Amino acid sequence: MSLGEPVRVVYRKYDQALHWNLTMYRLGEDEHGVWLGAPADSTGRRGHEEPIVWPEPFVTLFPRDAWYTALLNAEPNEVAWYCDVTTRPTWRDGLVTMVDLDLDVVRRRDGVTYVDDEDEFAEHRVRYAYPADVVATAERTCRDLYAAVAAGDEPFADVGRSWLAKVS
């Protein structure tokens, strides 16, 4: 396995509080965006909590002009795809950052697909006063992302698996 340069990945909440943060490795780019990978036993943190170890390798897609990121887990993880609705990822000097907008699209390994954290989105849109355009874009992104993930449209089929093979 040959991994590229390390990239610091930092998700924040709308109030700029630190959310998920970890180091991944640049695998490459395609028409869908930039793909980063994390080998088995990679560590990361949720905010400032104790580190978490992910036993399986995974890859994350960071689209260039879309409001989401998409993580594909290796088996035997029960969750195949975990997609976060976010602001557009911003790249600078070995760092990619975005704001997590709470809504998640999840596809389990058995094919069941659902939207998670709608309650958190409803709560945070009031607490943090999400602007109307942010709410509309997040909701539209969630609907479109759900349709693509549920249907297994690319990159949520063979493309994702080909990138995952580079870290598995």
Whether the upstream peptide bond of residue 131 has omega within 30° of 0, thus cis, is no
Rounded CA separation 101/3 (Å): 29
Q: Where are the domains of the chain?
A: 6-161
pLDDT in tens, 57-93: 999 999 999 999 999 999 999 999 999 999 999 999 9
Whole-model pTM? 0.95
Q: Token digits for 91?
A: 């790249």
pLDDT value, residue 2:
67
Q: What is the CATH number of domain 6-161?
A: 2.40.380.10
Mean pLDDT, the chain, integer: 96
The reported pLDDT for the residue numbered 15 is: 96
Query: Distance of alpha carbon 11 from its chain centroid, rounded?
Result: 9
